[in-house]
């Protein structure tokens, strides 16, 4: 806690007839208490942080006075504020000479500075990272209970990362790691945030409220790894940010699965033959096959339009997840159905779009299974 106490010296000097007492702090390594850093990140004032530290028993633990505790907290807050401009470009932290901070402490400062609250990111995910959205942070703060100062820091971090990496070639995750020195997990979360902001996916509708940020982040990873231009060519502009337009165009060819009556009937027959006796909801699967197939294929056929891309998750919920949930399908039933639904298309005599089909259904299956929960 109060690490500085071991090197605190008090000296009294007599100048003329005045007695002046000075507190002298001697040291080289910059003192940074992780708990105090978190208070600063969370938007606490110095007095609020002092109160929480006192309630935690730090005065008894360190045998310090309230004045010393206040002085220490204020000094550390000041240090963090001076470090903040370096944290905006984390690589600069290692090369500056003003603060003597060991590498492991630098990593901690960066990782915590760019960490975010799941409740906060869930409110802004998919929205444009603009001044308009930033003006609404008062409402987000009131709704989530996160201080406005912390909301602004997190929003500014999202916007900063987005601006740096949106035009870069190469892997989105690797670019974020390279420029911001984040852990693999945090870099992947930021990749999801950048990807959602770029494509403006709708996440705020009531029917989507049950989904967590990690649900969406998983789906973003699937889309980035399979449906972006970078999934097939790793040296193009914006490779992991923009969806592959050529692939989206090819998805229109999948409509034959629902417009050709003979093919639709054959597909249903193959899937139902494979499923019979393997699930308690077989009758529901058989009865709803055509509606579910139309839902999945129509989602694919519309993805060339920006608005339909934005509605991708709401469409998955409305066209597939809700009907299955109402018929009490288990996650195992979903997996079984989608596996046979995907594989059976390869046996259809006149269906010639297997590569596009597998690229599409691989992501659809993974996302639906992630999203299918209470």
Q: Which residues contact 57 (CB under 8 A, 6 or more apart)?
A: none
Report how far residue 314's alpha carbon sits from residue 301's, in angstroms, rounded to the nearest whole number. 16
Residue-wise over 325-363: b if at least 16 C-beta within 10 A, else e? eeeebeeebbebbbebbbebbeebeebebeebbebbbeb
pLDDT at residue 13, as a whole number: 45
DSSP code string of 5-58:
GGGEEEEEEEETTEEEEEEEE--SSPP--HHHHHHHHTT--HHHHHHHHHHTTH
353, 227, 217, 308: CA torsion to nearest 10: -80
Report how far residue 314's alpha carbon sits from residue 319's, in angstroms, rounded to the nearest whole number. 8
Q: How far apart are the first and last CA of the chain?
A: 43
- pTM value is 0.88
User: Directed axis angle between helix 354-371 and helix 282-302, to 10°?
Assistant: 110
DSSP 228: B
pLDDT at residue 6, as a whole number: 37
pLDDT at residue 11, as a whole number: 46
pLDDT at residue 269, as a whole number: 98
Looking at beta carbons, which pairs linking 368-372 to residues 24 or more positions away fall under 8 Å? 368/316, 368/320, 368/321, 368/334, 368/338, 369/331, 369/334, 369/335, 369/338, 370/215, 370/218, 370/219, 371/211, 371/215, 371/219, 371/313, 371/316, 371/317, 371/321, 372/321, 372/324, 372/325, 372/331, 372/334
Residue-wise over 28-50: b if at least 16 C-beta within 10 A, else e? eeeebbeebbebbbbbbebeebb
Answer yes or no: are the C-beta atoms of 150 and 43 closer than 8 Å: yes
pLDDT at residue 41, as a whole number: 98
pLDDT at residue 27, as a whole number: 58
**Chain centroid to CA 173:** 12
pLDDT at residue 49, as a whole number: 96
Report how far residue 229's alpha carbon sits from residue 190's, in angstroms, rounded to the nearest whole number. 19
What pLDDT tens digit does each residue of the chain (374 aa) get? Answer: 444 443 344 444 455 556 667 665 555 678 889 999 999 999 999 999 999 999 988 888 878 888 999 999 999 999 999 999 999 999 999 888 889 999 999 999 999 999 999 999 999 999 999 998 999 999 999 999 999 999 999 999 999 999 999 888 889 999 999 999 999 999 999 999 999 999 999 999 999 999 999 999 999 999 999 999 887 765 555 567 889 999 999 999 999 999 999 999 999 999 999 999 999 999 999 999 999 999 999 999 999 998 999 999 999 999 999 999 999 999 999 999 999 999 999 999 899 999 999 999 999 999 999 999 98
Tell me whether residue 150 is exposed, middle or buried, using C-beta atoms within 10 angstroms of its C-beta: 0 to 12, 13 to 18, 19 or more. buried
pLDDT at residue 156, as a whole number: 97
Report how far residue 10's alpha carbon sits from residue 8's, in angstroms, rounded to the nearest whole number. 7
pLDDT at residue 24, as a whole number: 59
């Amino acid at each position: 806690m109060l690490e500085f106490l071991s090197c605190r010296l008090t000296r009294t000097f007599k100048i003329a007839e005045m007695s002046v007492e000075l507190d002298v702090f001697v040291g080289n390594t910059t003192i940074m208490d992780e708990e105090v850093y978190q208070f600063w990140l969370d938007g606490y004032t110095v007095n609020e942080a002092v109160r929480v530290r006192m309630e935690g028993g730090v005065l008894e633990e360190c045998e310090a006075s309230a004045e010393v505790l206040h002085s220490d907290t204020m000094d550390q807050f000041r240090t963090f504020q001076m470090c903040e401009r370096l944290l905006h470009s984390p690589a600069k932290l290692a090369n500056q000479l003003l603060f003597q901070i060991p590498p492991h402490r630098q990593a901690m400062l960066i990782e915590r500075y760019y960490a975010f609250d799941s409740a906060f990111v869930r409110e802004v995910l998919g929205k444009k990272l603009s001044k308009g959205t930033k003006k609404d942070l008062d409402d987000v703060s009131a709704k989530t209970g996160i201080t406005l100062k912390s909301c602004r820091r997190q929003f500014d971090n999202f916007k900063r990362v987005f601006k740096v990496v949106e035009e870069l070639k190469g892997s989105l995750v690797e670019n974020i790691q390279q420029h911001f020195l984040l852990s693999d997990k945090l870099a992947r979360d930021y990749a999801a945030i950048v990807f959602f902001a770029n494509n403006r996916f709708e996440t705020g509708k009531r029917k989507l409220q049950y989904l967590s940020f990690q649900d969406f982040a998983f789906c973003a990873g699937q889309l980035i790894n399979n449906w972006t231009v970078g999934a097939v060519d790793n040296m193009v502009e914006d490779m992991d940010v923009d969806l592959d337009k050529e692939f989206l165009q090819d998805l229109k060819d999948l409509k034959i699965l629902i417009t050709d009556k003979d093919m639709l009937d054959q597909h249903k027959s193959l899937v139902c033959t494979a499923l019979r006796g393997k699930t308690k909801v077989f009758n529901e699967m058989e009865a709803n096959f055509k509606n579910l197939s139309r839902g999945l294929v129509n989602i694919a056929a519309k993805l060339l339009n920006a608005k339909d891309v934005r509605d991708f998750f709401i469409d998955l919920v409305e066209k597939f997840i809700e009907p299955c949930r109402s018929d009490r399908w288990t996650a195992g039933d979903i997996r079984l159905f989608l596996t046979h639904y995907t594989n059976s298309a390869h046996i259809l005599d006149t269906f010639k779009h297997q590569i596009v089909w597998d690229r599409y259904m691989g992501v659809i299956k993974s996302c639906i299974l992630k999203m299918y929960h209470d």
